[in-house]
Amino acid sequence: MTNEWRLSFRNGVDSARYCADWRRNGEVVVHLTMYGINIDDVIDEIAGLNRDILIAIGAKKVLSFFYEIADYNVAIGHQLRSEIAALAVFLD
């Protein structure tokens, strides 16, 4: 079995509406944060879903909406770091 990866970015969209629409279509939302389940405890489960995944990464003050709508709030460590670094660790 081969894994096929597609990666796309959306900018300039209403992020709350985009996430809500994504969930309505039955897909998975993963929110990368400092306050969540440790990545080591959940990454195998997420990788085995075989579904499209929307990765939400907040900056500064993240609205509680994203914690609530996410199927997984995943902690990439519990220290401050850049959003790009969190995405790189998750994709690795």
Name the more confident of 16 and 10. Answer: 16
Stated as kind and residue range, the H or E segment containing 74 is strand 72-75
* Arithmetic mean of pLDDT over the chain: 84
- pLDDT confidence of 80, banded at 50, 70, 90? low
Name the more confident of 5 and 35. Answer: 35
CATH number of 28-91: 3.40.1280.10
pLDDT digits 0-9 by tens, 17-62: 999 999 998 899 999 888 889 889 999 999 999 889 999 887 677 8
- Rounded CA-CA distance 88/14 in Å is 24
Which residue ranges make up each domain of the chain? Answer: 28-91
